[in-house]
Structure 1
């Protein structure tokens, strides 16, 4: 993979894109802009959002006067998206880059900061001459897409009134807010006033994964982060995440990742 297949730039002025450009675009809008126009339709007053734009889509960003840095544009070639590490991601399987719909992801505050940090590192790396630069870029892109897949609130701007999409959006919000309370799909189905069977049907249709996998994904993201970046004991982490015992947390973590929490904790400290 050549690094010239990845381009990134800060959004500091109005930007237009026509379909003769070969790259796919990830548009991260941090501070509010006047709007983004997609195939002639204007979506006004957008902020703290990520758009995934197919190369065939016509789009234009309308920036507010005096804006200094409202986000990033990340352009990727098909070669990059076909990299083995990225091509296996669920976010690729659901074809976020497509002409059928234009997904809009609203970011939670914590993920917004991590997203910005990742994009800033990509920007820095592309301008450097470091060894193993390509591997580092792919790793950062993989992390970026995993966060988008696991932490962003899925809500298509084209299909925002689709009932099942709204249910999945609400489900992911509830899991994010109540993961330490319950790890059971039935709990969230009850909160949504629908049956577990129907919730499973909605998640499968919209995301092509099981409802339980959303819960597992959230638990793994939070447990890995706590193990790597906090001084909490494994026992404390297990109880904070809602596990009945530290032993059950270790069992869950090993089943899902292939190694015990203590192994990850040691690898970070070594």
Structure 2
């Protein structure tokens, strides 16, 4: 890996401009950004988003006054995107970095926190001389892209006003807020004033998965986190996640992962 294959910087300046070079830019805009300008086109209300920008575009980010840091910019060479660990991801197969559009991901609050943690670790590793640093960086990039890959987040383009995209984005936000209480697609469809069939049609078109899959992925992500990083009993976790019994939670978890919750805890 070349020394300049990966770079990262916080959005600290009042105005951050595209640097010279042929690096792809991944801009995670946390908050308090006045505008994002890409090829002289101005975009507002861009907080809590990730933008993927091809080197052919000129761009700048203008931050609001009085804000210390408003996110990160990750610079990646083509060499890095062609690494075997990253090359086969869906994020590359849909050509996010070389299409004629400017792709973005709108992040739910839970995913936003994980994204920030990953970028902070990349920043820390780039400033270190640790053994196996390159392997760790690639692993973090892989994790970052998986979170952005459409399973946990919404893929769209900043020029897209498609009604189906808006429905899916609202659905994802509702799942993020209410998944501990509601596991049924029908409940979310009622909140959106549409039929479950139409909701599933929208999700299939935008994310290439079913509505139920989105709910299941959110439950599995939260399950794994609680099982690995909390001292709560499996019974406590099952009820907190909205399951009717620990037995049903164990059945659900094993049917989707191949292992029981108790086995995961031992790994």
Q: TM-score, normalised by structure 2?
A: 0.87
Matched residues in 2 for 1:170 and 1:145: separation?
Answer: 22
Deviates more, 1:82-91 or 1:227-236: 82-91
1:238 paired with 2:238, answer: yes
Matched residues in 2 for 1:30 and 1:203: separation?
Answer: 25
Cα distance, 1:155 vs structure 2: 5.3
Cα distance, 1:112 vs structure 2: 3.1
1:15 is matched with 16
1:259 is matched with 259
Figure out how many residues of one structure are paired with residues of the other and give that number: 265
Which deviations, in whole Å up to 9, do the C-alpha atoms of 1:44-101 show, x marking residues without a partner?
A: 3543332121223221122345654322110112332233333444444444334333
Matched residues in 1 for 2:92 and 2:240: separation?
Answer: 32
Cα distance, 1:168 vs structure 2: 0.8
Cα gap change, 1:100 to 1:214, in 2 (>3 Å): farther
Matched residues in 2 for 1:127 and 1:68: separation?
Answer: 20
Aligned 8 A contact 2:228 2:265 in 1: yes
Q: Secondary structure at the match of 1:227?
A: helix
2:194 is matched with 194
Aligned 8 A contact 2:152 2:217 in 1: no
Aligned 8 A contact 2:155 2:207 in 1: no
Cα gap change, 1:197 to 1:112, in 2 (>3 Å): closer
Cα gap change, 1:199 to 1:95, in 2 (>3 Å): farther
2:52 is matched with 52
Cα distance, 1:219 vs structure 2: 1.0
Mapping of residues 63-102 of structure 1, within 5 Å:
63-65=63-65, 67-102=67-102
Matched residues in 2 for 1:257 and 1:225: separation?
Answer: 14
Matched residues in 2 for 1:100 and 1:190: separation?
Answer: 36
Q: Secondary structure at the match of 1:4?
A: coil
Cα gap change, 1:74 to 1:128, in 2 (>3 Å): same
1:157 paired with 2:153, answer: no
Aligned 8 A contact 2:110 2:176 in 1: no
Cα gap change, 1:206 to 1:109, in 2 (>3 Å): closer
Cα gap change, 1:193 to 1:137, in 2 (>3 Å): same
2:208 is matched with 208
Matched residues in 2 for 1:38 and 1:205: separation?
Answer: 27
Mapping of residues 22-33 of structure 1, within 5 Å:
22-33=22-33
CA RMSD of aligned residues (A): 2.5
1:131 is matched with 131
Matched residues in 2 for 1:92 and 1:179: separation?
Answer: 30
